[in-house]
Structures are given as structure tokens and as C-alpha cells.
Chains A and B, each alone.
Chain A
């Protein structure tokens, strides 16, 4: 039987970033190298636990000698590479990407979107009032998740997390073409009639809040969601013996959301339904019968 080869140790390669010499492990990406050097490159479809999909193009940089701009999230470092991260051409490309996305989808819950729109001078309104928008009502068909495709930028991260990169449940995929493309369950059935196992690993990777926990969705609707007042504490799940690390997001002494550190060797940011949602039992604070 064929043995599965083990990886040899990685070597370091030399390259320059904006003229500065840096070293990065072979097989790492330009984005890894940029972040290691303290450069802030915007990303949306990139996920630290996922294979790059190159869907959004907001992270593009210029590589000396290349005809086109390179997505930093997927382009690997090479010996002697000369990379420029902040050229006029790269900045212009990022600006247009942000304009197109923000004109068609609701980016109000996308972390840092407003900051980038300002930084790159993007004007999402410049396509006029007739610019096509998704305009869909949030899908609330179960007690745990909400899917608000008005906020979806079709980055495919949820599909990859649900599919063969992590969960291997394959409950969702892309349906439709062009502007009508949507992330969908089979036959667009409610989640409760789909293959979904409610692990929440799609929500863990969603960059825009299109997928959210119902606790967060309801609190946002009620105007009580307040991230500034939340604490995040990483502990260990109380169910099986696998020992998944849970980050408990707590607001006013109530657990309101559960995530997992993406660099954790046990979970890589993934959980199951029990770890993700099974915390309610500690919060049943009703007084006992005496």
C-alpha cells in the first residue's frame, strides 16, 4: 500500500515587500508575508483556515514582472520576488471591488468595510439608484441560524467550510448564474429540510454577517447587541472528550455567541452543534421550587 508522504520541514525564501527585504517560509502566501511584516492588506474571501478561493480580489498586490495584479491571499512567495502592496494600480482595483460589492450588498455588519471604503475613496453610490441590489428578506427557518443573503458577497467560504475542507456535510452550494447566483440548500429547501447538522462552521467563516447566530440576529434587531460590552473568554467544551476550545462571547453575564480559535490544534476553528449551541443549560436561571 502506498505510504502517504510526510512533509519535509519548510525552508525560508527571500523577497522584497515595498522595497524592504523580508524572509518567509516557502509555501506561505504573499498575504502571510505582508501580515508578518505588519502590512495591513484588506481581505474578505480569504479565510485563515480555508484554501484561498480568489473570489473577491480585494487583496490584490503588484508583483514585479507580472502582467496582472496578484491576489495576495493565494499567490505563494518565491525567491527574489519584488512585491508592491500600495501602488496606484492596486489601490484603484481595491476601490472598484469595494464599490461593486457595497453597491449590490449590505455591508453594514462586515468588519472594517466602512474603514476600507473610506481609505480607498470608494463611492458605492456612483452607479446610481438603479444599481442592482440583492434585496432579500433574512431567512429565519430554525432556532439557531439566520441566513441574510442581502449581505452575501458570494465568497464561497461557507460552502468550503460545509464541504470538503472541514465539515464534509455538503448542505449548501452555489445555485444560479450571474447576479442570480446564491448560496443555497438543495432545492432551496428550508435549513430544517436540508442536510445541515447545525455545526455553525459556516457562520464561523462568514466575513459579512450574512450568516449569523439567531442570538446575535435577534439582539441586533432589538438593538441590544453591543460588542463593546462583550468579553471573550476561551475555555474547553463541556461535552465529549475531544476537548474543543470554545471562545465564549459574554454580554451582561449571558453567553451570546460561541466561536473557536482558528489556530487551535484541536478545532482549527470548527465545532459541532453541542459545542456551538449547547451552552443554554448553564443559563436556565429560573428559581427552583423549594
Chain B
């Protein structure tokens, strides 16, 4: 077997956009334009589409990479200038199920504890999370915890570099998280380790949950998940008997067609044991983008107003209607996934895409590109000419939120932190908020903000969770975690301590168990497509590689189809050999990498090098019905040797 050889690969480098671009006809090329021309065209297109088809023919893709302030203005543009709730961002492709699951149980979509608490906990479960690669500095806190004596369990189909630090690695079959969680829950109940006092005090639906998990004996779960019954028992006892325990997850839980159910299955375990609402205990979904938490908090999602306040709540809606002097549609807008479906149906005809690259980041990219091409009017605002921008009618050059603007972002532990301008943007690039305000002005709304702080203060006035966070205090405390309703005190670092209150009024709504059912991945493996493909990130690269391709990483080695040694032998392929990888939707050619951390029947690819190998042409657009997240983590593929046609010299 040939050895894997590291190749120091340079990736496609995207030059910064320095001036606006417009397209004169459907078949024409993008050409340079003045700001005035580009903005007028962008506005005219939106005006024409909404005049002819109503405001719901418009969709806003807001940016999980931009500041809270930009997201606030983008959703306000959507709701006030256009008059629809069709605003969403790429949180849909990653953690929307976490937000949906957590808010259904606790009324709030944020992770419940803080990084520092991981250092003071007794047990850490990393479920579907290779944080060592994907969230390296969070993993520093985990490592501190381990050195302090905490035990860590890793649940992941792959034996990842996170799993290398675990007390025990539970290598489950892709898409069997619910059976495993249910078996852990059943074992806790049957061993008498359920926290009965907490269950009676703070939860509802326990009996139904207990009945639901009853069939999942450790041995039945072993058959379905592939995890030895003894390891399941061990995890159950460790989690239930720990004084404090943290349950952390990432996209291994959420990027499934039933991602929200997966999240509920994990939350059930915290309710069963009372590992919630106390210091050192909690649930931590690790967010994948710098401001994917903040984008949702700012209302750049179709069902929530700023401050994560529900659109369907009449007093909340009327508060915003007074503040903005507008009528807000009393129903949820379309999420990103639904917007793509509405393009297909011809209902969504104009899109304003800020800093997103759905032409490469959506599952089943061919379909995504076709749908974007069918739009009457596409305006893309970005720092690069991405694949999505290449499809646009108008391209507006923006600033890089994190280093060319002032503002704030919100991290995975709900900490709002200041982003500051360190460099001048190139060419004619302008700040996102400026550009949106220019468009608003052309569409009849004379908006003017004297900088990001004014936007933030407007947000503070309508969002109780952010009211106490002045820029001055954010600076003083190196960021403040929400909720922060008061300007003169800080709240605890963890959420939901109310569940432990003895006064029912203070305790608030009880937390419901989620009686969720196992539902295997949509894309079944069979004789034609016998291998399960799962996708993920590497340490030095990021998402579609537009950002991370810019620096010379000695670790970068391009895209591979990663196989275990057993499968490589079975399909008679060697390391570095280029093979054809096919799913029911598409086919790519990629070289083979041998990873002994994979199990037979399981292959791995990243989505970092879409210009070389378009992994997402293989993945399935099978969406979570609650949160709309696609099942990136489970496709069925086959591997074929490429016939040698050339004569070797």
C-alpha cells in the first residue's frame, strides 16, 4: 500500500472585489459600473419584482460572517423596506436544528453554558463534533478540563483527533444518533440513575419519553448503531453519575434530515439527569461561523425579530411595528431551504445575497446553481467574486466585516464582542450597512446611521436580552454574554437556572422531553452505492475555501476521498490513486487518502476545495422538516477505479 503523501497545495485565490459590476443582458458578461449605476439597478430590480409579484417574491440571504449591526439592518431592510419575512442565512446549512431544538425546550436558542465551565466540569461528551479541528480554541478549554480531571467521551463515526483524547470513543454508524441517545437514556432509567427530583420539578413528558426509549436496550442499540452495548452502558453511567456534565455537539448532530430530532434526543439526556441550569453543566452546540449565533439573535431569520423574539407573538410584533412604523406580516417567512424551493416554483424571483456563497455551499450544488440562474434579479454583495456572485445581475463590493468595519459579533457561548476596523478596504469597497442604507434610500426609506454604535443602540432599545450591553461595557468586560437586560449587572454564565427555582412563577415554563423517533438517513446504501460518505472540516481550511485558500498552509493537501485501509484493499485502490466517486446525484474524481480512523463502509470528504472537487454535487438535499438543514453528513456513494487508457511510456 502506497503511503499517503502530504502535498502542499495552493488553492484558488480569490482577488478582492474593488468596484461594482453589472450585467446588461441575461447572456451578457459582468462589467464595471459606478456605484450610482449599480445601486440604481439593484434597487430598480427589487422594485420591479415586488411591484409585479408582491413583497414575498423577494428573499434576503443575510451573512453569518458579518456583524450583528449589519444583520440587524439587513433584516430591517427585508421587513420594513420590502415588507416580507423572507430573510435567512447559512445557519440553515449548519446549526438551525440546534436553535430549533433548544428553543422548543427552553425558549431560547443559545448554548446553555460557557467555555470556562468546561474546565470545571466532571464529564464532557463530544457528540458529532471534531472540535480539535473545527473549534480548536474551544478544545483548549476541553483539554484544560481533561487535565483538571474531567473524563471525555467522543461519539463520532470517525475516530477523529478529538476522539484521541477520549476516555472512550463510541464509533456509531452515521445517522444512528437517536438510537444511541435513547439507549443511553433507557440505561439511565433502568439503572435508577434518572434524576427523579429534577424530572418532577422541571420537566414534562417523562412517561412518554420513557416508553419511547424502552425498546432501545443496549443490545438492540448495538445492532443498529454498531457501538458495543458495554460502551453504551459505560457512557450512560458516567453521564448520569457525574456531578457536573457538559454535552457538546456540532454538525454531526445537525446536518441530518432529522437534525432537530437529533438535538432533542441529546437535550432529553440533560433533562433526565438534571445536567442543565447549573454551573459546569449544560448543552453546548458549537457554532461554525463567527456570527451565526448573532445573525439569528438579530432577527436575520424568517421566524424571529431582533432579540430572538417570536414574530407570531402579537405584543412583540406591535412593539416593533411602533418602533419601525410599519406593518409586519404576522407569519413566518421562508427559510433558506424554502427560498430555494420557491425559486423552483417561480414564487421567489429576486434575491439580495449578502456575503453568502450558496452556489457552492448548498447541498446538491447543481440544483442550487440552476435555481439561482432562474431568478429575475440577483444582487450579490461580497468581498469576492464568488461562484454565486458570478451569477448575479449586480455585484456590490463590500468590506470584510471582521477587520474593515466597526461592530459586534456573538460567539458560541453567547458572548457579544466588539469587532474593530484595523485596515482600510480596497478600492471602492463600501461597508455593508452603508450599501443597504443606499438601497433603502432608493426604495423610499431615508435611513441614516452615524456608525455601527447607533445601529447597536437601536437594537438595544428593542431587544431586552441586549439592553445592558453598551459599547463601553462590551469594551470593559471583553464581551458580555446574553441575556444582559441591565446596564449595571452581569447575569450568570449559564442559562436556565430558573428550572431549579422552588417558586413555580420563577421556574417558568417546564422543559418538555422530546419523544423523537429513529429515522435512518434518506440516502440508503445498497449494492449500487455501498459506501456511506460523511463530510466535515479540516484544521487549516474552512467551508468552501474562499477565505482559507488565501494563505500558504503547510498542512493543506487538497481534496481526497478518505477510506479505511480495509475498504482500500477491498476496492483495490491505493493512496493517491484517482478514483471516480459517484452518488445518486453526481460524480466526481478525487485521489484516495487512507485513514485508519475510518471504519469499513465509511468514507470522508471535506467541502473545502469545490473548485477542484465539488463534494456537494454528491450530497443529498434531504432536509430537516423543522429546521431546513440538509443531510450533508450522510450520502450513499460508490468508488470505481478509473480505467487506464493512456499507454505508459
- Using CB atoms and an 8 Å cutoff, list the residues of chain A in contact with chain B: 1-4, 6, 142-144, 164, 166-168, 191-192, 196-199, 231, 233-245, 248, 250, 253-255, 261, 263-268, 270-275, 277-288, 290
- State the Cβ distance, B301 to closest chain A Cβ, in Å: 16
Q: Given contacts A278-B550, A288-B15, could you give 19 more A-B pairs where the C-beta distance is less than 8 Å?
A: A1-B151, A3-B243, A144-B554, A167-B140, A192-B6, A198-B554, A235-B402, A238-B402, A239-B548, A241-B135, A241-B290, A242-B137, A245-B478, A255-B422, A265-B115, A270-B140, A284-B13, A284-B14, A288-B21
Q: Which chain B residue shows the least CB distance to A143?
A: B552
Q: Which chain A residue shows the least CB distance to B412?
A: A241
Contact B290 A238 (CB under 8 A): yes
Assuming A242-B138, A272-B539, A274-B540, is B550 touching A284 (CB within 8 A)? yes
Residue in B14, B238, B288, B548 with the greatest tally of chain A CB atoms within 10 Å = B548
Q: Does B464 touch A at the CB level, under 8 Å?
A: no
Assuming A199-B136, A238-B401, is B551 touching A287 (CB within 8 A)? no
Contact B419 A274 (CB under 8 A): no
Contact B551 A279 (CB under 8 A): yes
Q: Which residues of A contact B552 (CB under 8 A)?
A: 143-144
Q: Does B361 touch A at the CB level, under 8 Å?
A: no
8 Å CB interface, B1-33 against A: 6, 8, 13-19, 21, 31-32
Q: Which residues of B contact A287 (CB under 8 A)?
A: 15, 18
- State the Cβ distance, B225 to closest chain A Cβ, in Å: 24
Q: Which residues of A contact B412 (CB under 8 A)?
A: 241-243
Contact A286 B134 (CB under 8 A): no
Assuming A242-B412, A286-B15, A287-B18, is B135 touching A1 (CB within 8 A)? no
Contact B423 A4 (CB under 8 A): no
- State the Cβ distance, B497 to closest chain A Cβ, in Å: 16
- State the Cβ distance, B453 to closest chain A Cβ, in Å: 15
Contact B16 A285 (CB under 8 A): yes
- State the Cβ distance, B555 to closest chain A Cβ, in Å: 6
C-alpha spacing A44/B476, complex, angstroms: 29
Q: Which chain A residue shows the least CB distance to B554?
A: A142
Q: Which residues of A contact B18 (CB under 8 A)?
A: 285, 287-288
Q: Which residues of A contact B418 (CB under 8 A)?
A: 234-236
Q: Which residues of A contact B293 (CB under 8 A)?
A: 241
- State the Cβ distance, B433 to closest chain A Cβ, in Å: 17
Chain B interface, >50% SS class: loop
Assuming A198-B553, A241-B288, is B134 touching A282 (CB within 8 A)? no
Among candidates A6, A231, A233, A278, residue contacting B542 with C-beta atoms closer than 8 Å = A278
Contact A282 B122 (CB under 8 A): no
Q: Which chain B residue shows the least CB distance to A192?
A: B554
Among candidates A143, A244, A277, residue contacting B137 with C-beta atoms closer than 8 Å = A244
Residue in A234, A236, A271 with the greatest tally of chain B CB atoms within 10 Å = A236
The contact string, 1 if C-beta is below 8 Å from chain A, for chain B 286-305, is 11111111000000000000
Q: Does B421 touch A at the CB level, under 8 Å?
A: yes
Contact B420 A234 (CB under 8 A): yes
Contact B135 A240 (CB under 8 A): yes
Among candidates B6, B122, B288, B403, residue contacting A238 with C-beta atoms closer than 8 Å = B403
Contact A268 B286 (CB under 8 A): no
Contact B147 A4 (CB under 8 A): no
C-alpha spacing A240/B411, complex, angstroms: 9
Q: Does B349 touch A at the CB level, under 8 Å?
A: no
Contact B17 A288 (CB under 8 A): yes
Assuming A1-B122, A198-B554, A272-B137, is B403 touching A253 (CB within 8 A)? no
- State the Cβ distance, A288 to closest chain B Cβ, in Å: 6
Assuming A236-B409, A272-B136, is B548 touching A279 (CB within 8 A)? no
Instruction: Supply 26 A–B pairs (Cβ within 8 Å), ascending by A.
Output: A1-B151, A1-B243, A3-B243, A4-B122, A4-B148, A144-B553, A164-B147, A235-B402, A236-B411, A238-B547, A240-B289, A241-B135, A242-B137, A243-B413, A250-B422, A265-B478, A266-B413, A273-B539, A278-B547, A280-B551, A281-B384, A281-B549, A283-B16, A283-B550, A284-B16, A287-B18
Q: Does B120 touch A at the CB level, under 8 Å?
A: yes
Contact B135 A264 (CB under 8 A): no
C-alpha spacing A143/B244, complex, angstroms: 43
Q: Which residues of B contact A267 (CB under 8 A)?
A: 137
Contact A266 B411 (CB under 8 A): yes
Contact A237 B402 (CB under 8 A): yes
Q: Which residues of B contact A239 (CB under 8 A)?
A: 289-290, 542, 547-548
Contact B123 A241 (CB under 8 A): no
Among candidates A197, A275, A282, residue contacting B16 with C-beta atoms closer than 8 Å = A282
Q: Which residues of A contact B151 (CB under 8 A)?
A: 1
C-alpha spacing A240/B121, complex, angstroms: 23
Residue in A263, A266, A280 with the greatest tally of chain B CB atoms within 10 Å = A266
C-alpha spacing A48/B17, complex, angstroms: 41
C-alpha spacing A244/B135, complex, angstroms: 10
Q: Which chain A residue shows the least CB distance to B481?
A: A265
Assuming A239-B542, A242-B137, is B287 touching A278 (CB within 8 A)? no
- State the Cβ distance, B5 to closest chain A Cβ, in Å: 12
Contact B287 A240 (CB under 8 A): yes
Contact B478 A198 (CB under 8 A): no
Contact A231 B550 (CB under 8 A): no
Q: Which chain B residue shows the least CB distance to A248?
A: B422
Contact A274 B542 (CB under 8 A): yes
Residue in A168, A235, A268, A278 with the greatest tally of chain B CB atoms within 10 Å = A235
Assuming A198-B540, A241-B286, A287-B18, is B424 touching A253 (CB within 8 A)? yes
C-alpha spacing A273/B8, complex, angstroms: 15
The contact string, 1 if C-beta is below 8 Å from chain A, for chain B 409-442, is 1111101011111111011000000000000000
Q: Which residues of B contact A244 (CB under 8 A)?
A: 137
Contact A240 B417 (CB under 8 A): no
8 Å CB interface, B521-554 against A: 539-540, 542, 546-554
C-alpha spacing A271/B139, complex, angstroms: 11
Q: Does B65 touch A at the CB level, under 8 Å?
A: yes
Q: Which chain A residue shows the least CB distance to B279?
A: A6
- State the Cβ distance, A145 to closest chain B Cβ, in Å: 9
C-alpha spacing A245/B137, complex, angstroms: 11
Contact B286 A242 (CB under 8 A): yes
Q: Which residues of B contact A2 (CB under 8 A)?
A: 122, 149
C-alpha spacing A261/B479, complex, angstroms: 13
Contact A4 B415 (CB under 8 A): no
Q: Which residues of B contact A281 (CB under 8 A)?
A: 13-14, 384, 546-551
Contact A197 B419 (CB under 8 A): no
Q: Does B383 touch A at the CB level, under 8 Å?
A: yes
C-alpha spacing A235/B418, complex, angstroms: 6
A-B pairs, top 4 by smallest CB distance, nearest first, are A243-B411, A241-B287, A281-B550, A272-B136
C-alpha spacing A268/B539, complex, angstroms: 20
Q: Which residues of A contact B149 (CB under 8 A)?
A: 2, 4
The contact string, 1 if C-beta is below 8 Å from chain A, for chain B 183-202, is 00000000000000000000
Q: Which residues of B contact A279 (CB under 8 A)?
A: 403, 550-551
Q: Which residues of A contact B551 (CB under 8 A)?
A: 144, 277-281
C-alpha spacing A6/B540, complex, angstroms: 35
Contact B147 A265 (CB under 8 A): no
Q: Which chain A residue shows the least CB distance to B17?
A: A288
8 Å CB interface, B147-184 against A: 147-151, 165
8 Å CB interface, B556-577 against A: none
